[in-house]
Amino acid sequence: MSVIYILWIRQLKRYFRSKARIIGALGQPLLFLFAFGFGFGPVFERAGEGDYMQFLVPGIIAMSTLFTSMFNGIEIIWDRQFGFLKETLVAPVSRVTIMVGRTLGGATVAIIQGLIVLSIALLIGFRIASPLGLFTALLFMFLIATLFTALGTAIASLLEDMHGFQLIMNFLVMPLFFLSGALFPIQELPGFVGILVRLNPLSYGVDGLRGALTGAYQIGFITNFNVLVLCMLTLVIIGAFLFSRIEV
């Protein structure tokens, strides 16, 4: 447990010591929040769908959590290039323990980033349906963050090129986000698009966050929770297996 804690706290210290990273990671979520929230809000309201900001904010929180989680994988490549990963792997602890510590650290960083976005949203008028909903939202943020941190770790374990990782991440992250229902309701979507949305694990995270914060589930708490837990456990196992096979 001490190894997991040390690797977890290392991730947090690296995050808090890099103010540029904190601010930079907020740029895209805030752009979407203000541009879409205030730009499409009147259209959404005239269509009879209610307050678009209430609908949008959970999706932007999921977006921030997703982006931060996935790009934590780049630290594995960075550590490999600068020798820290080799020093870690030769320590008398299992690689699975190392992977768990890194994953929990990356997931915690992603949750903090999501909470910062939520705090900004509250300042511009977003309303949480109930205090209990905040705890449920934290649960879904943890599942999203752990799932996609494990995915980023799995991909980074197969790559040595930092630029290749960034290209693959962009190829994955944007489709995951846009096909998650973060920006639009998922009811009555065309058949093929609807299937893609249902196959996307982030869809269940977005709906879970939206239901927790606003009380409006489109899929349902139980389904969202079960799918996310299953996907998270699967990717943690895959990530641990691939990380255990890293050669430095």
The pLDDT tens digits of the residues spanning 211-235 come to: 999 888 888 899 999 999 999 999 9
Q: Which residues contact 75 (CB under 8 A, 6 or more apart)?
A: 11, 14, 102, 106, 156
What does the alpha-carbon distance between residue 2 and residue 37 come to, in Å, rounded to a whole number? Answer: 44
**pLDDT of 42 over the 70 cut:** no
Residue 45 pLDDT level (bands cut at 50, 70, 90): low
Cβ atoms of 181 and 197 within 8 Å: the answer is: yes
The tokens for 210 are: 């939206």
* Average pLDDT over the chain, rounded to an integer: 82
Confidence of residue 169 (pLDDT cuts 50, 70, 90): confident
Please, is 44 exposed, middle or buried when counting C-beta atoms within 10 Å of its C-beta (0-12, 13-18, 19+)? buried
Residues in contact with 81: Cβ distance below 8 Å, sequence separation at least 6, in sequence order:
162
In angstroms and rounded to an integer, the radius of gyration of the C-alpha atoms of the chain is 18
Cα–Cα distance measured from residue 144 to residue 202, given in angstroms and rounded to the nearest whole number: 7
Task: Answer whether 72's CB lies under 8 Å from 146's CB.
Answer: no
d(CA 246, CA 229): 26
d(CA 120, CA 223): 29
- SS3 state at 189: coil
Structural contact between residues 145 and 71, judged by C-beta atoms closer than 8 angstroms: no
Instruction: Give the Cα separation of 141 and 57 in Å (integer).
Output: 13
Query: Residue 220: which residues within 8 A CB-CB, separation 6 or more?
Result: 207, 211
User: What is the reported pTM?
Assistant: 0.88
Residue carrying the six token digits 């992977």: 99
pLDDT of 16 reads 79
Return the higher-pLDDT residue of 70 and 207: 207
pLDDT digits (tens, 9 = 90+) for 99-156: 888 888 889 999 999 999 999 888 888 888 888 889 999 999 999 999 999 988 888 8
Q: What pLDDT does residue 47 have?
A: 47
Identify which has the larger pLDDT, 96 or 48.
96
How do the domains of the chain map onto residue ranges? 2-244
CA angle 208, 66, 197 (to 5 degrees): 55
> What values do phi and psi take at 126, rounded to 5?
-65, 145
